[in-house]
Structure 1
């Protein structure tokens, strides 16, 4: 599973970075982003908490397209 942040939907609340700081960060513009090399960390329980904490549901856990 891959983690994706929909930057068109993200409002920069920062709940992802606060909830799972080892997986998410915020860009210079203030939007949520997955840390480099962490897009495959969907099994981390904190990631699931971050998905639930996002007020605009901008975080998705998707299976890779090549499967």
Structure 2
């Protein structure tokens, strides 16, 4: 027979599995040789010249609803 702790643990496990199953996978973008945000030249396999451009791109795309994280 299970106690409250076992029941709570089972519920947490169920919620964690549901959250993991429904999370959105990142979109893999092809290498183009240019930063996707500012157009500056980048070396393979990078697709953004720096973290600021990546964050700006993702923030902009998220507001448009086109990027899945």
* Greater relative CO, 1 or 2 (CA 8 Å, sep 6+): 1
Q: In proportion to residue count, which structure has more strand?
A: 1
> TM-score, normalization: structure 1?
0.29
Q: In proportion to residue count, which structure has more helix?
A: 2
Larger Rg belongs to: 2
